[in-house]
Amino acid sequence: MLAAAGCAAMAQAAEELGDAEAGKKVFNECKGCHQVGPGAENRVGPHLNGLFGRVAGSLEGFRYSKSFRRAGNSGLEWHADSLSDFLKNPRSVASGTRMSYRGLKDETKRADLIAYLRLFSDSPSDIPEADPTAIGTDHGLDPGILALQGDPEYGAYLSSECTTCHQAEGGDEGIPSIVYWPEEDFVVALHAYKNKQRNHPVMQMIAGRLSNEEIAALAAYFEDPE
Amino acid sequence: MKLNRRVFIGAAGAAAASLQAPAVLGAGKPRVVVIGGGAGGATAARYIAKDSKGAIDVTLVEPSRTYYTCFFSNLYIGGFQELSDIGHSYGTLAANYGINVVHDWAVGVDRDTKLVSLAGGAKLPYDKLVLSPGIDFVDGAVEGWDLSAQNKMPHAYKAGSQTELLKAQINAMPEGGSFCMVAPPNPYRCPPGPYERVSMVAHVLKSVNPTAKIIVADPKPKFSKMGLFQEGWGNHYEGMVDWIGEDFGGGNVSVNPDAMTVTIDGEETKVDACNVIPAMKAGRIAEMAGVTDGNWAPVNAADMSSKADPDIYVLGDASQQGDMPKSGFSANSQAKVCANAVRGALTGSKVFPAKFSNTCWSLISTDDGVKVGATYEATAEKIAKVDGFISQTGETAELRKATYEESVGWYAGITSDMFG
């Protein structure tokens, strides 16, 4: 199944996410032109807040090269994989870019830098299927919670609360798709909302009143809603 | 997966073989009649049909062939949606879920013989009846206005031609003219939220008639998301909106639809367009069925069953349930609890505990969306609020834009949850 294959690839991408602390040091190479974090503004280069999921060359108020705008118009979006390609050799992605940077060949450093930048992009891109998750709290979850076997019939009933907003058949305009997620990703994501490690008021509220068993039931149902 | 008819019948056959003995005995399948095809009724009909896999006979009674959602109807007034974007048909519910959709008015309920009468003369027998008739207006609520005046001073509180009319009247206002809204007292259906509507009218006028004025006569001293709206009106439409609350006589209003005047606290004003939103009550069929107490129909929070009749359920705006607002989101949420209970009663399927939630998004101006929401639980007395949140004043433009985009996603989600 296409969806399942896609999820596997994403799970792998998540595992390859680097070390954000180390990435902060790598970012020193970028600081001359780019700002990131609270109050970041466009300078020589565009600011890098909310980078994940952004269409290349789309930031209002920044004058991009033609080459960059063209790349954006033809569908280039910033995610871990596209950023990695770009950082490895910027001109291979946008030949006429004004970013005078020879590229970062070291794969680990690239992953670290991307993990660091990921800290400044949050919802709605902050979902496992879209991008690796920035906050490294995923693995702090009690193994007992992860091991819970959910009841898919109960999950099917509970899911009706989700499908008021998240389309039962997928579709992710404005609100992400939640169908066919790997069970564990689903559990981790909902607990991250429940524990207020992810920032979305509706999801914090909804997840906040779900018990561990209910989260497991939903995960069991949404892994394969058929 | 969308079930096509053939697959659906096949699945129904397989499921029927493994069915437990239904709680309602007698010849043939148990019958559910749902009156009203909005967020409550359409959702209930769809979930009962879908989850019972053909074991329950579901009939949906709704006069309109095309249903225009009240939610996002203000966005049509503001020019952010086409009318056709908010219109939905019942074709999928009939074709893919096997629901018997009847386009007629329900005009009576005989609770002893368990029969619903339709204006066309037919009688529909039921084992369980779900009423989701929305609202009607309280007679004489606004002095000088009754339904016969709705073309001169539209309410636009049932989406469709009324909304179209109001939009046309706003667009036809003379330069520098006045628009007046007579806002409703609590509790009122929302969406279409009156204050989002004021924002959308202001949005239109700002571009086509920037010297026009908006007067809101309000019988309430405050309203939902008031701080957010007032901040937004100041930011986007400075000086255009004059909100007259209870303290300044906003509740002391009469209108003259022929003369197009509005008198607020003794002061008569000539207006060029006027949106009168009177006090509301449960849709008339609830009263005819004898399940109302005062203006609304009291229900048990655990399953939305009527306090007057265990075989009747009342959903959405018409119900008196406790803390939930009268929104389409609420009706949709209540419908799923009700569907689960109805199915359990008729087929012996497992009944899970009630859970309710609501979120209401409002658009103030282009890409300036706000929201308020809460979760609820069933207690012995009522549906009680557990937890909630609201957008904050001073949020970033980026967050407001994301909130608006989220509402667009929600619209796609809830309408496919209602209509399949």
Among B402, B56, B406, smallest CA distance to A164 is for B406
> Distance between CA atoms of A102 and A145, rounded to whole angstroms?
46
Which residues 87-116 of A are in CB contact (within 8 Å) with B?
none
- Same domain for B188 and B305? no
A205 with B387: Cβ contact below 8 A? yes
pLDDT of residue A77: 85
Those residues of chain B that have pLDDT short of 50 are 1-26
For chains A and B, CB pairs below 8 A equal 88
Neighbours of B53 (CB within 10 A): 18
Judgement on whether residues B149 and B274 belong to the same structural domain of the protein: yes
**Partner B contacted by A28 (CB < 8 A):** no
Residues of chain A contacting B417 with CB distance shorter than 8 Å = 160, 163-164, 168
B162 and B266 housed in the same domain: yes
Q: How many CB atoms lie within 10 A of CB B141?
A: 18
CA B279 to chain centre: 15
- Beta-carbon separation of B359 and A165 below 8 A: yes
Q: How confident is the model at residue A131 (pLDDT cuts 50, 70, 90)?
A: low
Dist. CA B99–CA B52, nearest whole Å? 12
Q: Is position B372 within any domain?
A: no
- Do residues B274 and B294 both lie within one domain? no
B133 cis-preceded (ω within 30 degrees of 0): no
**Residue A69 has what pLDDT?**
82
> A174 contacts in B (CB within 8 Å)?
405-410, 412
Picking from A16-25, A141-150, B301-310, which range would have the lowest pLDDT averaged per residue?
A16-25
Share of chain A above pLDDT 90, in %: 28
In this structure, the number of other CB atoms found within 10 A of the CB of residue A42 comes to: 16
Query: Domains in chain A, ordered, with CATH?
Result: 16-118 (1.10.760.10), 138-223 (1.10.760.10)
Q: Are residues B175 and B88 in the same domain?
A: no
Taking the CA of residue B263 and the nearest CA in chain A, the distance in Å comes to 42
Q: Is B347 on the interface with A (CB under 8 A)?
A: no
Q: What is the CATH number of the domain that holds B187?
A: 3.50.50.60
Which residues in chain B touch residue A155, judged by CB atoms under 8 angstroms apart? none
- With an 8 Å Cβ cutoff, are B375 and A166 in contact? no
Point out the residue among B371, B375, B413 whose CB comes nearest to the CB of A164. Answer: B413
If asked whether residues B240 and B337 sit together in one domain, one would say no
Q: Which residues from B are below 8 Å from A166, CB to CB?
A: 413
Q: What pLDDT, on a 0 to 100 scale, did the predictor assign at position B391?
A: 95
Whether residues B412 and A167 touch (CB distance < 8 A) is answered with: yes
| Residue B270 domain boundaries | 144-278
Distance separating alpha carbons of residues B134 and B35, to the nearest angstrom: 10
Residue B289 lies in a domain: yes
Interface residue A175 vs chain B (CB under 8 A): yes
Q: Is A168 on the interface with B (CB under 8 A)?
A: yes
pLDDT at A153 over 70: yes
Say whether B373 and A209 touch across the interface (CB within 8 A).
Answer: no
- Do B254 and B285 belong together in one domain? no
Residue B376 lies in a domain: no
Residue at B58 is within a domain: yes
Go through chain B and tell me how many residues it has.
420
B226 and B106 share one domain = no
pLDDT for residue B317: 98
Q: Is A169 on the interface with B (CB under 8 A)?
A: yes
Q: Which of B350, B374, B402 is the last residue of a domain?
A: B350
Q: Give the minimum alpha-carbon distance from A108 to chain B in angstroms, rounded to a whole number.
A: 32
Interior CA angle at A13 toward A42 and A152, to 5°? 115
User: Pick from A30, A177, A54: which is nearest to A112 by CA?
Assistant: A30
Which among B350, B370, B398 is the end of a domain? Answer: B350
- Rounded CA gap, B185 and B246, in Å? 10
Within 8 A by CB and 6+ apart from A63, the residues are none
Assess if residue B398 is contained within a domain: no
- Boundary residue ending a domain (B350, B376, B398): B350
Residue of B70 and A92 predicted with greater confidence: B70
CB contact under 8 A, A164 and B414: yes
Residues 6+ apart with CB under 8 A from B396: none
Asked if omega into B353 is within 30° of 0 (cis), the reply is no
Asked if the structure places residue B360 within a domain, the reply is no
Phi, psi of A212 (to 5 degrees): -60, -40
Number of domains in chain B: 2
Residue A15 pLDDT: 45
Phi-psi region of B394 (alpha: psi -120 to 50; beta: other; left: phi over 0): left
Cα first-last separation, chain B: 10
Distance between the two ends of chain A, CA-based, in angstroms?
13
pLDDT of residue B369: 97
Evaluate whether residue B356 is within a structural domain. Answer: no
Q: Give residue A122's pLDDT.
A: 62
pLDDT at B225: 95
Query: Higher-confidence residue: B168 or A49?
Result: B168
- CA–CA separation, B3 vs B5, rounded Å? 6
Q: Considering CB atoms only, which of A156, A164, A174 is closest to B405?
A: A174
Q: Which chain B residues are Cβ-neighbours of A165 within 8 angstroms?
A: 359, 406, 409-410, 413-414
User: What are the tokens at B42?
Assistant: 């359409």
ipTM, interface predicted TM-score of the complex: 0.84
pLDDT at A14 over 80: no
Determine the pLDDT at residue A225: 87
Q: How far is C-alpha B270 from the geometric centre of its chain's CA atoms?
A: 31
- Does the CB of B409 have a partner CB in chain A at under 8 Å? yes
Determine contact: B413 vs chain A, CB below 8 A. Answer: yes
State whether the Cα torsion A187-A189-A190-A191 is positive or negative. positive
Across all residues in chain A, what is the average pLDDT?
Answer: 81
Same domain? For B207 and B329 the reply is no
| B241 part of a folded domain | yes
Please tell me whether residues B167 and B264 are part of one structural domain.
Answer: yes
- Contact with chain A for residue B1, Cβ under 8 A: yes
CB contact under 8 A, A161 and B340: no
- pLDDT of the residue at B308: 98
Pairing of β B261-264 and β B267-270: antiparallel
pLDDT at position A155 is 96
State how far the Cα of B330 lies from the Cα of B333, in Å rounded to an integer. 5
Contacts of B152 (CB under 8 A, 6+ apart): B257, B258, B260, B274
CA-to-CA dists, residue A77 to A64, A74, A106, A173, angstroms: 15, 9, 22, 15
Are A173 and B355 inside 8 Å of each other by CB?
A: no
Query: What is the DSSP annotation of B404-418?
Result: HHHHHHHHHHHHHHH
Please, are residues B160 and B125 in contact by the beta-carbon 8 Å criterion?
Answer: no
**Residues of chain A found within 8 Å of residue B350, distances taken between Cβ atoms:** 153
Q: Verify that B38 and B86 share a domain, yes or no.
A: yes
How far is the CA of B329 from the CAs of A64, A180, A190, B335, in angstroms?
A: 42, 25, 22, 10
Q: Which residues of A touch B360 (CB under 8 A)?
A: none
The pLDDT assigned to A5 comes to 40
Residue B51's closest CA among B97, B9, B90, B91? B97
- Give the pLDDT of residue A103: 87
The reply to whether A41 touches chain B by the CB within 8 Å rule is no
Are B384 and B376 a contacting pair, CB within 8 Å? yes
State the nearest Cα–Cα gap between A141 and chain B, in angstroms: 24
Which residues in chain A have Cβ-Cβ distances shorter than 8 Å to B348? Answer: none
- pLDDT greater than 50 at residue A2: no
Q: How far apart are CA B166 and CA B153, in angstroms?
A: 8
Interchain contact A32–B (C-beta under 8 A): no
Å from B412 to nearest chain A CA? Answer: 7
Do B357 and A123 count as a contact with CB atoms less than 8 A apart? no
Same domain, B296 and B265: no
Q: How much is the pLDDT for B14?
A: 39
